Amino acid sequence: MKHFWLIVLLLTGIKFSAQSNVPVDSLYKPDPKYLEDQFYFGISYVALRNLPEPLTQNGFSNSVKLGYIRDIPFNEQRNIGLGLGLGLAWDNYYQNLRVSIDEETGAVLFKILTDDDSFRSNSFTLNKLEIPFEIRLRGSTAEKYKFWRLYAGITTAYVYGTSSEYVTKQVDVSYKNIKIINTWQWGISISAGYGTWNFNYYYGLSNIIKNDVKVQNNQFEMKDMRFGIIYYFL
């Protein structure tokens, strides 16, 4: 009987020893329903490109966005995949091109503001419906909340609203439905970092203003790029 219990103890010890030597990674089973980064919020500084003289950027041009992205994992670990989303964005461009509308004819009027013009701010704003499409690489798991990520893709935007504002000490004039803006815009977007707050970069590929628009007989291809941060959460 003593030999029987001794054999049982030995076998039990071997069993536990074998279990303790099993790599932790081999015990991990990815959650088949685990998804990541469903919602986002971002804010960026906007730099205008391809501005012909004498157009210049002034003030803090900025962009704010928020939305939802459907996560589509490709592999068992669910750390490689695609993202397809829908969101809203508000872009504010501060520069010295005053845009107004003739009340009688509805024609869009332009004036390039110079140092002789005394004004506090001059801007136009775009309200957008964004459709981001991303390729997603990350180091996350269902239990790991801080991880590195690299998301890159194309963001397409539909401009559903436009406005301009001109402010001096005496007046504050604004106009809506500026019809010189391209309705569809797109560009390359990259997000990278560690944790919830990440660096976000956007490089616009389409013109902001329609190609047939001329200012002082000059045709220009104004585009933008954005540098900012983006916050991802479930």
Model pTM score: 0.80
**Average pLDDT of the segment spanning 194-216:** 87
| pLDDT single digits (tens) 159-184 | 999 998 888 888 888 888 888 889 99
Of the pLDDT bands very low, low, confident and very high (cuts 50, 70, 90), residue 131 is very high
d(CA 135, CA 125): 29
| pLDDT single digits (tens) 192-201 | 999 888 999 9
Element (H, E) at 17: helix 2-20
| pLDDT single digits (tens) 102-130 | 877 878 887 888 776 778 888 889 999 99
Element (H, E) at 5: helix 2-20
Between strands 218-219 and 214-215, the pairing is antiparallel
Element (H, E) at 227: strand 223-233
Of the pLDDT bands very low, low, confident and very high (cuts 50, 70, 90), residue 232 is confident
- Region of 106 (left: φ > 0; alpha: ψ -120 to 50; beta: rest) is left
Q: What is the predicted pLDDT for the residue at 209?
A: 86
